[in-house]
Every structure is written in structure tokens, then in C-alpha cells.
Amino acid sequence: MAPLLLFPFVFSIFSISTFPHYLNNISQEQQYLLLQFKAAIWNNNDNLQPNWTPLRPLCNWTGVTCDRSSQSVVTLNLSSMNLHGIISPILGNLSSLRSLDLSKNALAGNIPSQLGRLPHLQVLWLYSNQLQGTIPPSLSACRNLYDLRLSFNQLHGSIPPELSLLTNLKILYLGINNLTGSIPSSLGNLSALVELDLGINNLRGTIPPTLSTCRGLHDLRLTFNQLHSSIPHELSLLTSLEILYLGANNFTGTIPRSLANLSSLVELELAKNDLSGIIPHELGMLPHLQFLNLWGNKLSGTIPSSLGNLSALTVLDLTRNHLQGTIPPTLSACRGLKILHLGANNLSGTIPPELGMLTHLEALYLNKNKLSGTIPNSLGNLSALKNLSLSENNLQGSIPW
């Protein structure tokens, strides 16, 4: 019976004695994988060469972080290292990888579909490269992914609707590419989404109302696409929204009054569209608004005096619309205003002397209107002013010094 009692003890000794060998095998395997990855890239300084060698411990390699217990690679950060070449599909075999950052390099080729084999991946940053091809739908298998940044590349094709399976995703940056097609309505399934940037692409169609289900969204950027139709009222349900950029599209219709429900809004940019109708006075109810840009539309009516309630406002640009009436003196209450652009409208009346109270103003553009009277002496109080344009009006009298 004694040998049987000793068996667990003998087995435990055997296990302990082989454990370092097991870890060594993991380290050697992952060294091999990373050296295969390195063989597909290069840079002018070759700053990986000094320590990316089997002669050094893997966990001491530049940009590599290992899990202490398993010695597996969990982070690979090679951002801003002037890397050229392609991203080797072999990275898909680093099964413990949680974060991959190859951003701000000059990598070309496709995004390997094999990255979808990384079940623990949480962060994937490939932005600011020269990557081509399409976004692999296989990335949807990385169910722990919460931060995906592919912006500033040359990616084409459509946005894979499979990305909606990444229900932990908080940040999705696909801007500054050549993406086409429509915005998948299934992105509304990304209930954890906080930041969504699809700007500067060739996307068509409408803004899917389903995005209104992403109630935690803080930042929504869709500028410089070919989106059309009206701005959906459902966006007013995104009450956590702080940044809304919809400029340089083909939106028509009016500015929804319901945008006043976005009480956390800091920046609102609707420039260079085909929006018509009036500027809703309800926009003056946004207490945190700092940036309001509506230039290059077909807006008519008067400038709402309620905009003077925007005490946090620093930029107001209403250039190139069809606005009429006078410049509301209430704008003088926006004491932090730095840029005031009202040029290329049909504004009439005199320049309110109250504008001289905007002592932080750096740029004042009132050109190409129908303003009359004299230039108020109070504008001489604008000590921070760098740019002033009053041309193409009906102003008289002398220029105050």
C-alpha cells in the first residue's frame, strides 16, 4: 500500500520539475512568432534589432509586456516606431494578447483576418498607417474588444455589420478612410458605445435611427461623407452626447428643435449641408455649448437672441446662410466668445456697440452683409482681436482707432 500513498507526492514533484520547462516552451514559441512578425516589417533605425533576439528574455523585448504567471505576451505596443512592411497574420497565434498597438507607423497591406483568433483582445489600435483592403468581419470574434481604432488609413469597402456583435465596444474609430456603403443599422446594438467616429469617408444613405439606442454615446462624428435626408429626431435621445459633428454632408430639412434635449452638448457642428428653415431658439438652452458651427447652409430668419444665453460659447459661426434682421446685442453676454463669424448673410441694421464687451474676441467677421451706420468706437476695446472683416457692407464714417 505504501507505493500507492507515495504516488500523489511523486506526481507533484514531477509536475513542479517540468513547470519551468513548460514556461520555457511557451516563451520560445512566442519568441518565434514575434520574430516571424518582425521579418515582415522594417524601419530605418531598426530599433527592434538590439533586443528582439532569442539571446534576451522575451519579456524584456521592446514593446512587449508579459503575464507574470504564464509568461505569455499580453501587450504588444510598437506605436510611432517608423515601421514599414505588413502586419503578419502570425500575430493571430498570440492567443493571450490583450492589447495590440501598431499605430502611427507606415504599415501597408491588409488587416489580417487572423486577428479574429485573439479571444482575449481588448484594444486594437492600427490607426495612422497605410493599410488597405477591407475591415475583416472576423474581428467580430474578439468579443472582449472595447477599443477599436482603424482611422487614418486607406481602407475601403463597407462597414461590416458583424461589428455589432462586439457588445463590449466603447470606442470605434473608422474615420479618414475610403469606406463606402451605408452605416449599418445594427451598430445600434453596441449599447456600451461611448465614441463613434466614421467621419471623412464616402458613406451614403441616412443616419440610422437605431443609433439612438446607444444611450451612453458621448462623441458622434459623421462629417465629410455623403449622408443625406434629414437629421433624425431620434438623436435627441442621446442625452449623454457632448460632441455632435454632422458637417459636410447632404443633409436637408430643418435643424430639429429636439436637439435642445442634448443638455450635455459641448460642440455642435452642422456646417456645409443643405439645411433650411430657421435657427431654433431652443439651441440657446444648451448650457454647456462652447462650439456652434452652422456655416454654409440655407438657413433663413433671424439670429435668435436666445444665443446670448450660451455663457460658455467660444465659437459661433453662421457664415454663408440667408439670415436676415439685425445682430442681436444679447450676443455680448457670451463673454468667453473668441470667434464670431456672421459674414455672407443678409444682416441689416447697425453693428451693436455691445460687441465691444467681448474682450476675448480674436476674430470678428461681419463682411458681405447689408450693415449700415458707423463702426462703433467700442470695438477699440477688443484688445485680443487679430482678424476683423467689415467689408462689403453699407458702413459710413471713419475707422475708430
pLDDT greater than 90 at residue 353: yes
- Percent share of the chain, pLDDT over 70: 93
Q: How many residues in total does the chain contain?
A: 401
| Angstrom distance (rounded) from CA 207 to CA 46 | 45
Name the strands in the sheet holding 204-205, side by side, starting at the edge strand that comes first in the sequence: 204-205, 226-229, 250-251
Quote the Cα angle for 386-333-367, to 5°: 40
pLDDT of residue 27: 81
pLDDT tens, 186-214?
999 999 999 999 999 999 999 999 999 99
Backbone angles phi, psi at 149, to 5 degrees: -125, 110
* Strand pairing report for 291-293 and 267-269: parallel
Annotate 225-259 with three-state secondary structure: CEEEECCCHHHHHCCCCCEEECCCCEECCCCCHHH
d(CA 154, CA 108) in angstroms, rounded, equals 9
pLDDT in tens, 99-129: 999 999 999 999 999 999 999 999 999 999 9
Closest CA to 307 of 281, 341, 343, 268: 281
Rounded distance between C-alpha atoms, residue 52 and residue 87, angstroms = 17
Beta strands in 21-173 (DSSP E): 41-42, 64-66, 73-77, 84-86, 99-101, 106-108, 123-125, 147-149, 156-157, 171-173
Confidence label for 257 from pLDDT (cuts 50, 70 and 90): very high
Residue 17 has pLDDT above 60, yes or no: no
Torsion sign, CA atoms 315, 320, 323, 329: positive
Q: Is the pLDDT of residue 34 over 90?
A: yes
Cell of 322: 440667408
User: CA–CA separation, 298 vs 77, rounded Å?
Assistant: 48
Q: Is a pLDDT exceeding 50 seen at residue 9?
A: no
Q: Which amino acid is at 370?
A: K
Query: Taking a C-beta distance cutoff of 8 angstroms, is the pair 111, 136 a contact?
Result: yes
Task: Indicate if the pLDDT at residue 184 is higher than 50.
Answer: yes
Asked whether the predicted pLDDT for residue 16 surpasses 80, the reply is no
pLDDT digits (tens, 9 = 90+) for 63-73: 999 998 888 99
Written as one letter, the residue type at 118 is L
Residues in contact with 242: Cβ distance below 8 Å, sequence separation at least 6, in sequence order = 218, 219, 264, 265, 266, 267, 288
Mean pLDDT, the chain, integer? 93
Entry pTM: 0.92
Q: What are the phi and psi torsion angles at 207 (to 5°)?
A: -75, 120
